Amino acid sequence: MADGRMTARDYAKAYRDGERTPEDVVEAAIAAVRLSGQQAQPLDAFVLLDEDDVRKQAAQSARRFEQGSPKSVLDGVPVAVKDEFDIAGFPTTAGTCFRGNKIAREDSAIVERLREAGAIIFGKTAMHEIGFGGTGINPKHITARNPHDLSRAPGGSSSGSAAAVAAGVCPIAVGSDAGGSVRIPSAFCGIYGIKPTYGRIPTAGGALLAWSLDHIGPLAASIDDLAVFYDLTAGAHPRDEETHGQPEPEPVGELDPPEPTELRIAWTPEMGEDAEAPVKHAFLNAIGALRRAGAVVEERKVPHIHQAQRVGYVTMAAEAAGTQRDWLRQHRDEYNWDTRLLLAVGERISTQEYLHAQRVRTVVVDEFAKVFDDYDFFITPTTGMVAPEITQGAMETGEVNSRINAYVSRYTFLGNISGYPSVSIPCGVDAKGLPVGLMIYAAPWKEKALLNAAAAIDALVDGVPRPPVFFEV
């Protein structure tokens, strides 16, 4: 168990040993969702949960265990899905108030792979509107809350996925990440998240935001659950051209963390020195803990790394304006104000400006790649701040505070413009008990090494206690 929580492997063992059944786990998860909605301030992690459907899936899984033929270690494990990915028979809103009329005819590639593994597709989770934001605040749809403090944002855009996992409703949830949308909510909610290498997990069947930045990744209660999810979902898919031509994924299997003395890690003050004090403190504490354990942690200059966020914003805004073009023609006034503002910026980015951003992107990525000639990993804080408060103003317009929006994604865009894999792990809390995240990067296709290193680092840095809003499932 991770911090006393059941992992996918724990559930699988309990099912095999007859201590639990997929059916009783699903009933406990359904009860947790109901209870989370009965608080004075609901958690609001889910936008859709068909109880009959998940019970049917659980019964099918239970029969497989009775017959001694589970599909995988994920068989019978509840996995929530961000409402950006199609589940056959249900609508995909992408966090909008106007896209819920069309019912998906087939599963997205990620849901298809999870079903093949026997996972219970446990509802659809709330998200920042169209995935264009890092707080999860969504006035016109549903705003999930942070289980550590229900007055705080869970992070976005995979907000409900993070809230559901952090609150113990399910051990794993699907997220997507175009600018930090797996890693930011993982950090704010004190859980784990991985954005794999670009194209490693298929995105087909998703209402995605920015074609050159979008990734799929899991949010989970443990690093082992990240590894389980990765092993069962990574690799080329016939419906997703971006996955074609990639090297065969190396299975992670059971984690085998290296000794701290085997870790060679780089960092740069430019990615952390401007963070708010609690984040900077936790980050420097993590570096100190690693060094005391014998890891090599050295400063490394990456000349134009400060441009990563700017390049990411320009790229995302321009590409998002393209993916939303048809919707904007009919529904412009139905978007949240913050989304409309960002899309309006994207519509005004010229081809020349977009191409210039891609030239700068190439420079930044080339310089970043050289880090891995000398080091195996590169670390930064995940975010520049802890989870912000959900203000009344933000609940009317969406979060339009430019400082908050900048600090939320300060360090995550580097992973999206490069496509390099990165993991966020908890590394402590601030004075109010709000989680802080540590981000670990590796070279492309090195997810196995990355996850094992993350497990080694996780054992050395400060953890995060269970949140006040937590359910035993």
CA distances from 362 to 115, 307, 366, 412, 414 (A): 38, 11, 6, 17, 12
DSSP 223-239: HHHHHHHHHHH-S-BTT
Q: What is the DSSP letter of 104?
A: P
Q: Does the active-site annotation cover 222? A: no
Taking the C-alpha atoms of residue 192 and residue 24, their distance in angstroms, rounded to an integer, is 26
Q: Is the dihedral of CA 56, 62, 65, 67 positive or negative?
A: negative
Catalytic entry in 61, 82, 124, 409: 82
| Residue type (1 letter), 324 | Q
Nearest to 138 by CA among 124, 121, 158, 123: 158
Residue 300: exposure state from Cβ atoms within 10 A (0-12, 13-18, ≥19): middle
Distance of CA 214 to the CA centre of its chain: 12
Has 82 been annotated as catalytic?
A: yes
- A 10 A CB-CB count for 256 gives 11
Encoding tokens for residue 41?
């301030």
- Tokens 């090599």 belong to which residue? 296
Whether the CB-CB separation of 322 and 351 falls below 8 Å is answered with: no
The answer to whether the CB of 129 falls within 8 A of the CB of 97 is: no
Q: Determine whether 370 is an active site residue.
A: no
CB 339 within 8 A of CB 129: yes
* CA–CA gap between residue 242 and residue 73 (Å, rounded): 27
Question: Are 292 and 261 in contact, with CB atoms under 8 Å apart?
Answer: no
Nearest to 129 by CA among 140, 114, 113: 140
> Can you say how many angstroms the Cα of residue 220 is from the centroid of all Cα atoms in its chain?
9
Catalytic site residue from 159, 181, 186, 222 = 181
Q: Residue 473: helix, strand or coil by DSSP?
A: coil
d(CA 457, CA 264): 12
| From 61, 157, 159, 222, the catalytic residue | 157
Which residue, among 144, 222, 213, 169, has the nearest Cα to 387 in the 3D structure?
144
Show which residues are catalytic. 82, 157, 181
